[in-house]
Amino acid sequence: VDTDVDLESKINALKKSLNAVILAHYYQESEIQDVADFVGDSLALAQAAAKTDADVIVFCGVHFMAETAKILNPTKQVLLPDLKAGCSLSDRCPPAAFQAFKAKHPDAFVVSYVNSSAAVKAMSDVICTSSNAVKIVSQVPQDRQILFAPDQHLGRHVMKQTGRDMVLWPGSCIVHEIFSEKKLVQLKVEHPDAEVVAHPECEQPVLRHADFIGSTKGILDYVVASPKQKFIVVTEAGILHQMKLKAPQKTYIPAPPDNGCACNECPYMRLNTLQKLYQCMRDRTPELILPEHLQTAARAPLQRMLEWS
Ligand code: 13P
Ligand code: SF4
């Protein structure tokens, strides 16, 4: 059996021989983040994918993120350690139902969150991520009604920030919707000196306790820059790894979910392991395959996002 150190050196050798780049999201296990060439939030990963000159993109994240990398790099091979790493938000917005929703508002401008399938992106006018959603929505012509999918909590947050009214698809994330307001308040009482930082996919009763709301990268940058020394972190616990690397002297308390677990992990993100990462590079499979017509249709709204960001 390979140790993590063996796996890391084999992965590093494969990176060179394949001319591969490893992109990892902050919700990946620490060992994967440590071996990656680039760790980022959804926007930064899409931007990194758009400008890489590697021949192979190994995407350590979930399926819709790897799809985005493929759409922006149609001639490159995109590998992902586990094809089953999906996303509850994306799954809760099936393309046929979304098409029917859109048909009810035929003149609306459609803004879709990047956590959606390529088929939903293909039906959208522009894509956004949690870090640029406010900026993107602000650029939609004032006279257009906006449909926003699939995360209703991010949608409400953006409505508040921009003052724009939007019709929301009723989606949510199984990880962020189960943070407990009661446990968060208990933690705040125990640690009155801590700041609360939260991801906008959390529900309103949780978000109203936050001192800062932002994307994973936004949260990370905030805690590193803040003069405060203690933070209650209300998002997937993988982000704590970079916080501890970037500001090791500070204290980070992961907010607990309502399911009895001590901290909150995304079951899809955590399907990827160092062992599977090594195997997918060694065997050059599983590979992300996406029909050409979907790639073409989803590319325009994604490129519009990159231009508007
Ligand atoms: P970020 O874009 O903030 O990294 O969020 C991605 C995600 O899946 C949050 O659950
Ligand atoms: Fe999807 Fe939620 Fe996991 Fe993010 S944390 S990948 S939104 S299921």
Q: Give tens-digit pLDDT for 56-110.
A: 999 999 999 999 999 999 999 999 999 999 999 999 999 999 999 999 999 999 9
pLDDT digits (tens, 9 = 90+) for 232-280: 999 999 999 999 999 999 999 999 999 988 889 999 999 999 999 999 9
CA angle at 127 for the pair 125 and 130, rounded to the nearest 5°: 150
Q: Residue 136 is encoded by which pair of tokens? A: 């993107």
Please choose from 45, 60, 67, 87 the residue to mutate so as to test ligand 2's pocket, defined by most ligand atoms within 8 A of CB.
Answer: 87
| ipTM exceeds 0.95, yes or no | yes
Point out the ligand nearest to the CA of residue 87.
2
287 Cα to the center of ligand 2, angstroms? 21
Percent of the chain with pLDDT over 90: 97
**pLDDT of 1 above 90:** no
Q: Nearest residue CA, atom 6 of ligand 2?
A: 87
Tell whether 173 is in a known binding site. Answer: yes
Q: Do domains 89-173+296-308 and 176-254 have the same CATH topology?
A: yes
Residues having CB within 6 Å of any atom of ligand 1: 41-42, 115, 129-131, 173, 199, 201, 215-216
**Tell me, what's the pLDDT at 250?**
98
Provide CATH code, domain 89-173+296-308: 3.40.50.10800
Residues shown for the chain: 309
Domain 176-254 has CATH 3.40.50.10800: yes
Per the DSSP assignment, residues forming a β-bridge with 20 are 56
Query: Which residue ranges make up each domain of the chain?
Result: 4-85+269-288, 89-173+296-308, 176-254
The pLDDT, as a whole number, for residue 215 is 98
Question: Quick one: average pLDDT of 8-32?
Answer: 98
Ligand 2 centroid to Cα of residue 60, in Å, is 13
| pLDDT score of 2 more than 90 | no
Burial 73-105 (b: 16+ CB within 10 A, else e): beebbbbbbbeebbbbbbbbbebeebeebbeee
Atom number in ligand 1 closest to CA 62: 8
Asked if CATH classification 3.40.50.300 holds for the domain at 4-85+269-288, the reply, yes or no, is no
Atom 4 of ligand 1, residue of closest alpha carbon: 41
Indicate yes or no: pTM above 0.80: yes
